[in-house]
Structure 1
Amino acid sequence: MDARYYTIGMAGHIDHGKTTLTKALTNVETDRLKEEKERSISIELGYAPLHTKEGVHVSIVDVPGHERFIRQMIAGVAGIDLVVLVIAADEGVMPQTKEHLEILQFLGIDQCIVAITKVDQVEEELLDLVAQDIYETLEDTTFVDAPMVFVDSLSGKGVDKLKDLLFENLKNVGFRDRYGSFRLPIDQVFTVQGLGTIVRGTIYEGMVQKSDTLQVLPAQKRVKARNIQVHHQDVEHASAGQRTAINISGIDRDEVKRGDVLVASDHFIVTNTIDVSIRFVEEMRYPLKQRAPVNVHVGTSEVMGTIVFFDRNEIKNEQEEVLCQIRLQEAIVVRRGDRFILRRPSPVETIGGGWVIDPNGEKYRFGQQTIQMLQQKKEGTPEDLVVDALTEKPLDMNQLIQVTSLDQVQVETILHEDNRIISLPNGSFSLRTQLEKIKDQLVHDLQAYHEKHPMRKGMNKAELVQTISEKFPKEVIDNAVKFLLENQQLKQEGQFLALQTFEAHFPKAWAKRMESIVEAIKQDGLTVNKWEDYVSDSALSQEQGNELKTFLIQTKQLYRLTDELLIHREPVEKAVSDLKQKTDQSFDLKQAKDQWNVSRKYLIPLLELLDELGYTKRMDSQRQWV
């Protein structure tokens, strides 16, 4: 069976024994800083490995309990799979206990074990009172059924029982996706002499190997993983769920910070506008007004933002979820489903938490229509997410993964199985319905064009595409044209497109007049009049005359002798036949003039026309039949 990796968080009020309990479980002192040792409080996150059991590898993160270090606490618990809620027997439930509880629930953590510490320091009877207090506190939380264990970290009482309970409860936790795209939110950055920049964090998903090329987001800095450690041990690779330190090259220490994210692919986007679902604390000291400033804690980052409501102007004692948007002052890296905590900057307090519905938020109108749209986004299946993403424009595989926050396997499966989606020649994907709409629009526009210009062979392809490019993406239009050509619904001649059933023809209202012009030119044989004379005699407008001339030349009913003279095809063919019968392999100017009995005004253009049509080839003063 594959090894599984988990991270357990120690949470609770200051001085309730989280660090001491961590040491009792792991034999590792997680308070590293001089100030932490002097003041006997945790300031930064501490980490320690718990021994491996049946292929289960566990890291423990010890988070600060003091209210001033709540930022570090949130960064620490954001990536955990199970929490040990530490409550001292001599104090019971305290303010930070309750705030940590709220934060843990907002982050969607549902596996909890309550560790009542310092049990050797209180009377036996007091333990029952403490336990009752805890039961009442947890009664309306997701941790109502959390198992409880009494421990004393110094004497070791209950420590083994807690350890067994931890491994037993981890069986109920789904392990993280090691095959997805690698993502590590950074919570610590430091340098080591001779090694350079080192970042630490818990791998949310995927796997990293030595020498991998990675990217630091949102700065988009390319780096290389020079070395990887898991709890101070060099390893060749690290997987989702593991606490990992990575020595990265190609970046200076001051170019990376806590809150940045280390990734290995282009599947992640950088955003500053997120659509979210939020639940708020039961009792808020002050209402939260429309466009109020908020602190957003997501992953290991903390950024300032503005909250935007679409169905109200303030929040106070709201128990139902609220669909809204947060516009951030700094770019962050999030995916759909990522959890976050919301805190008020002043007065400082935790006010809620939730999850990201869409990391690609846009500006929307205030009103129920927007709320309904956000609700649809929230409830969307993976198939719905892909289809919705393709509604606006075609996207390639990487773009679909970014927009939907689905992993590559999921997206590939949907693209393969959902017949609503088609593949385009350029490697992107679009909706079949969009293709059908474009096909209908193309046919409609060509039909209208044929009716307006019946003598034209078709519509210029570039012009046709341009007419509908504001409504549809060009890639899909090109694909629709290709489809219609392959299925013989359209035909193409050069740059011109036409409906398969269309043949250029005289417009019904002017057909007789146009036919009379053609007949008159035909009857005039080789000595035609100027084109304008024929048109003016017919009462056609100049525009109609120009359309007719183009049509007759394109359909090869008439040939151009000069800029002013057009000649009918049949007299030309008869003239060629007559001359050919009277000459040998070649002829000269005089032979042609005698045969055709025309002036030089017509003779020279006629001979040049024969060259152009491929009947003859000029050789000095002679013309040779081809």
Structure 2
Amino acid sequence: MDTAPIPYAPAQVIIACVGHIDHGKSSLVEALTAAGSTDRLADEQRRGMTIELGYAFASDGLEPACELAFIDCPGHERFVKRMIAGAFGSDGALLVVAADAGMEAQTLEHWEVLQLLNLPWGRVVLTRCDLADAEQLAATSSAIAEAVAGTPFADHPPLAVSSRRGDGIAELRSWLFGQARQRLQRPLDGPARLAIDRAFQLPGRGTIVTGTLSSGCIQRGDELVLCPGTGARVRGLQVHGRDVDQARPGQRVAINLARVEVAAVPRGTWITSPDAVMESRCIDVHLQPLERGIRHREVIELIHGTATLRGRCYLDAGVDLLTQPGPAQLRLEQPIFAAVGDALILRRPAPPANLGRADILDPAAKPRRRRQTAQARAARPEQALPAHLLQLAPAGMALDDLRRWAGGEGPAAAMLAELGPHKRQYGPYIWSEASWQQLRSCLLACILRVLEQEDGRVWVSLGELAHKIPAIPGKQWPLLMEGLASDEELQRWQQSLTAPLQIPTMGKRLRQAAEALMDSYQAAGLSPPYDHPMLAQQPDPSNAARALVWLRERGHLVALNDRQHLHRSILESAIAELLAACAAGQGITVQWVKAQWGLSRRWAIPLLEWCDRQRLTQRHGEQRRAGAQPHYDQPRFSLDF
């Protein structure tokens, strides 16, 4: 990385070469690229078999240049998971079958993987055609045609080649470049995501990791995130041995990382832009099982990029064996770092076998009991957001979490657009309409419990609601109050809520006590007795104490403090007179209040302090001036008398 870097390397198309062991995959890649053997390990060269993924490149030399990046996948049955990791980020594939041997065990297993990956194009290549007679060649071609029927691999007939003599190599190379040039354009936006398949150290360089950049761009100096792990800075970039300033989607990339030890980046680690993926041990998926099916609670291995994780598959209630596409939940022993729409290959660990493909619907699902009715889950990942929001209800979802959940700004915006008017957004949080209605139902139920259990109560404070509904973070409550302001069944006053249509009415005796108490406070004006002596004067003191709470909560009496109340109408008249004096330039003092209404200090001071708390007035030294509120706005509910 000493030479001056170029802005970016030519576009690449990645091709996985898969097939049974000793069917000539490495020799084919060597013949197509003239790059020498892809078996770089001493053990591979000694044993004459591919153990690790091998890489080689070929360019057509035209302008603009097109490069083929070949991944030579191991063919031994013990290394199927490495083969899957190599094929995962590929654009297309070559299914390599020896003409003189035909389709063998790993040929069929690798073919299952290619079908599960849904690669858009590929071709069957018959190697060692110089060792097969015409009858063998015809039999192998016929068996292959039957196996690949109805897939993109059937669009072109198997091509017979000989890597040793060069037969068919030029034709195959020409066909590959023709396919590649149709697929050079890739979107450059979105978060960067790369699954690390190799990590090593170079003297004077530090840690180098390699992998296929599946989305987004990476530039020198970028701050990225290791999953799992911490942050890392991009010190340098190479694509096909050339220093570049920027790596683009679909390219095989070598990244020189600063502040990272090689032991911290084993195979299977993801390196991403910040906030690109969710970390979870529980995911909802849409399964596409193979014919053998997947059983409820079956132990599985899943391959995600280059990572292999273990867990169990949980099917919906009443389903013990899934043989058709359907929903499931995967609970994992290690965390997965994923986004909506990510593909997974599922395998049975013992005896080893492919089980199917899973597409992630919810990368941060909550474990569910099987006997619970499963929520409706979409068959397509892009339809999964409403179900996820309903699962999170009543808490809603932060937009930052949505970007991680969806896999970037673009996918998140597309999901929100798909929701259209069927969503609510207040501040940095969103709810689907269904989850918002669930939130309303939860709030109504909580308020109703308070109204039923606490005699006379009307208002429930945000603090009480937050304590009773801990699923909603405290910082969301002010935003919720905005959203609920226009709700017909809920009413807000300051930092409290009530359900006006559910407020209970008074009984006959309580109504009589309330009428008598209202008359007493109205007759007393601005200087009634303290609450205790006032209640003692009533004809029915025990019901009068209850009536005091009912009247205060419904806005007919106003509490200046915990022992002094005033009649609402008398207080409003005093407020209007006080604010008019402020508007005329009068400085409001305790002495002014005493003189204006003939009050003692024990009523004048509480009245002014109450006005300050309600922001009707604002204190400046010994004087008060008009505050932010032009009037007292507590809703007044009918007492039905």
- What TM-score results when the alignment is normalised by the length of structure 2? 0.74
Q: Is the partner of 2:266 in helix, strand or coil?
A: coil
Q: Choose which of 343, 347, 372 in structure 1 pairs with 2:347.
A: 343
Equivalent in 34, 37, 42 of residue 27 of structure 1: 34
Shift of 1:329: 1.8
Q: Is the 8 A contact 2:191 2:276 kept in 1?
A: yes
Q: Does 1:46 align with 2:54?
A: yes
Greater Rg, structure 1 or structure 2?
1
Q: For residues 559 and 452 of structure 2, what CA distance do their matches in structure 1 show?
A: 23
C-alpha spacing 1:253/1:509, structure 2 compared with 1 (3 Å): same
Whole-Å Cα distance in 2 between the matches of residues 320 and 171 of structure 1? 36
Residue 132 (1) aligns with residue 138 (2): no
- What is the deviation of 1:160? 1.4
8 Å CA contact retained: 1:47, 1:59: yes
**Structure 2 SS opposite 1:204:** strand
Name the counterpart of 2:158. 148
Aligned-pair distance for 1:254? Answer: 1.1
Deviation of 1:401 after TM superposition, in Å, equals 2.7
Task: Check whether the contact 1:213–1:224 (CA below 8 A) recurs between aligned residues.
Answer: yes
SS class of match (2:153): coil
In structure 1, what is the Cα distance between the partners aligned to 2:10 and 2:548?
A: 80
Contact 2:446 2:468 survives alignment (8 Å): no
Could you say which residue in structure 2 is the equivalent of 1:362? 366
Q: 2 CA distance for matches of 1:119 and 1:535?
A: 107
Give the AA of the match of 2:58.
Answer: L
Unaligned 5+ segments in structure 1 are: 574-591, 593-602, 615-626
Distance in 1 (CA, whole Å) between partners of 2:370 and 2:441 is: 35
**Given residue 412 of structure 1, which amino acid in structure 2 is its aligned partner?**
A
8 Å CA contact retained: 2:74, 2:83 = yes
Instruction: Indicate if the aligned counterparts of 2:44 and 2:51 stay in contact, CA closer than 8 A.
Output: yes
Question: Deviations for 1:528-570, whole angstroms, at most 9, x for unmatched residues?
Answer: 988656544533234633753996999789999x99999x989
Corresponding letter in the other structure for 1:189: A
CA 295–531 in structure 1, closer or farther in 2 if over 3 Å, else same: closer
Shift in Å at residue 306 of structure 1?
2.4
Deviation at 1:483, TM superposition (A): 4.7
Residues paired across the two proteins, number: 567
Partner of 1:421: 423
Partner of 2:459: 459
Task: State the secondary structure of the residue aligned to 1:377.
Answer: coil
Whole-angstrom distance in 1 between the partners of 2:122 and 2:526: 102
Sequence identity of aligned pairs in percent? Answer: 26
Task: Label 1:222 to 1:540 Cα distance change in 2 as closer, same or farther (>3 A).
Answer: same
Q: Please state whether the residue corresponding to 1:419 is helix, strand or coil.
A: coil
CA shift digits 1:442-483 (9 cap, x unpaired)? 789889989999998x62533564487368666665334335
> How far has the Cα of 1:110 moved from its partner?
3.9
Aligned counterpart in structure 1 of residue 17 of structure 2, from 10, 20, 23: 10
Tell me: CA distance 1:378–1:143, structure 2 relative to 1, closer, same or farther (3 Å): farther
SS of equivalent residue, structure 1 residue 180: coil
Among 333, 346, 355, the alignment partner of 1:329 is 333
Alignment-derived partner of residue 615 in structure 2: none
Equivalent position to 1:303, from 305, 309, 322: 309
Q: Distance in 1 between matches of 2:496 and 2:244?
A: 63
AA in 2 matched with 1:106: L
User: SS state of the match for residue 398, structure 1?
Assistant: helix
Give the superposition deviation at 1:195. Answer: 1.2
**TM-fit CA distance, 1:149:** 1.5
Segments of structure 2 that go 5 or more residues without pairing to the other structure are 1-8, 575-593, 609-641
> Which residue number corresponds to residue 157 of structure 1?
167
Counterpart CA distance in 2 for 1:94 and 1:525 is 100
Letter in 1 for 2:425: S
Q: Distance in 2 between matches of 1:463 and 1:419?
A: 31
**Partners of 2:525 and 2:373 in 1: CA distance:** 73
- Alignment CA distance shift 1:312-1:99 (3 Å): farther
Tell me whether 1:430 sits opposite 2:431 in the alignment.
yes
CA contact (8 A) 1:439 1:481 kept: no
Summarize the Cα distance change of 1:606–1:112 in structure 2 as closer, same or farther, 3 Å threshold: closer
| Range with greater deviation from structure 2 (119-128 or 324-333) | 119-128
Deviation at 1:353, TM superposition (A): 3.5
The amino acid of 2:353's aligned partner reads E
**Distance in structure 2 (CA, Å) of the matches to 1:483 and 1:305:** 41
Q: Write the distance in 1 (CA, Å) between the matches of 2:53 and 2:135.
A: 35
Q: 1:120 — aligned with what?
A: 130
- State the secondary structure of the residue aligned to 2:412: helix
SS in 2 for 1:224: strand
Shift of 1:608: 5.7
**1:512/1:209 CA distance change after superposition, 3 Å:** same
Task: Name the CA shift for 1:68/1:545 in 2 (closer, same or farther; >3 Å).
Answer: closer
Q: d(CA) in 2 for partners of 1:238 and 1:314?
A: 46
> In structure 2, what is the equivalent of residue 401 of structure 1?
403
Q: Quickly say closer, same or farther: Cα 1:415–1:171, change in 2 above 3 A.
A: same
Identify if the C-alpha distance between structure 1 residues 350 and 493 changes in structure 2 by more than 3 Å, giving closer, same or farther.
closer
- The SS at the match of 1:109 is coil
Structure 1 position 253, deviation (Å)? 1.2
| Alpha-carbon distance between aligned partners in 2 of 1:557 and 1:351, rounded to the nearest angstrom | 70
Partner of 2:253: 244
Cα RMSD for the two superposed structures: 4.6
Equivalent residues in 2 for 1:382-401, closer than 5 Å: 382=382, 384-391=383-390, 392=393, 393-401=395-403
Counterpart CA distance in 2 for 1:558 and 1:103 is: 74
Q: Does 2:271 match 1:267?
A: no
> Does the 8 Å CA contact 1:339/1:356 hold for their aligned counterparts?
yes
Question: Compared with structure 1, are the counterparts of its residues 534 and 306 closer, same or farther at alpha carbon in structure 2 (3 Å cutoff)?
Answer: closer
Distance in 1 separating the partners of 2:118 and 2:408? 20
Change (3 A) 1:468 1:387: farther
Q: 3-state SS of the aligned residue for 2:271? A: strand
2:199–2:209 Cα contact (<8 Å) kept: yes
CA distance in 1, matches of 2:489, 2:280: 44
TM-score, normalised on structure 1? 0.76
Larger deviation: 184-193 or 269-278? 269-278
Distance 2:27 2:423 in 1: 56
* SS in structure 1 of the partner of residue 214 of structure 2: coil
Shift, 1:178, TM fit: 2.8
1:185 is displaced (CA, Å) by: 0.6
Instruction: Name 1:183's counterpart in structure 2.
Output: 193
Could you tell me how far apart the structure 2 residues matched to 1:502 and 1:354 are?
48
CA shift, 1:96, in A, is: 1.7
